[in-house]
Amino acid sequence: MGKIELRWAGDDSRMFIGHDSYGQTVVAGKWTKGDGEEWKGLKPSDLLVISLCSCSAYDVVEILKKQRKNLIGLSITADAKQTSEPPYPFTDIHLHYVITGKEISPEQAKKVIELSQNKYCSVAATIRGVAKITYSYEVREG
């Protein structure tokens, strides 16, 4: 992993601009507008869940492609629960995978997801010690 950089946008905002090790940009935070604050960037806690989804999605696509499966689509939705008191740690994260392709069996999908969750996804390995991660899946013929 390379160097990650985050900068405060300044002024009265609570906006932050992050750059990954490849120079890609993400905006997180909120800014004050009139009487209240509005989220104009991603919430940092949502970024963590998005990171979990994208880490696992990368693995699933990579494994299925190496297996020469005809993958047409993949989506993951997450239902994440946090405590109601600061620092609001996650307690449970449920991921639902929808895998669309030809000749991908439910058993193959389950095995690929388990490999991602338990062997390859560094984000899942990090979160697992704090929050319970569960998943469900469906396979659709494309």
The confidence band for 1, taking pLDDT boundaries of 50, 70 and 90, is: low
> Residue 12's pLDDT is what?
75
pTM: 0.91
Asked if residue 56 and residue 27 are part of one domain, the reply reads no
> Residue 35's pLDDT is what?
67
Distance CA 90, CA 98 (A): 23
Average pLDDT for residues 120-133, to the nearest whole number?
Answer: 96
Domain interval for residue 23: 5-39
| 49 Cβ neighbours under 8 A, 6+ residues apart | 78, 80, 90, 93
Q: Using the predicted structure, report yes or no on whether residue 102 has a pLDDT greater than 90.
A: yes
Asked if residue 92 and residue 75 are part of one domain, the reply reads yes
Helix (H, G, I), strand (E, B) or coil at 9: coil
> Residue 38's pLDDT is what?
75
Asked if residue 52 and residue 34 are part of one domain, the reply reads no
Distance CA 86, CA 110 (A): 35
Asked if residue 70 and residue 10 are part of one domain, the reply reads no
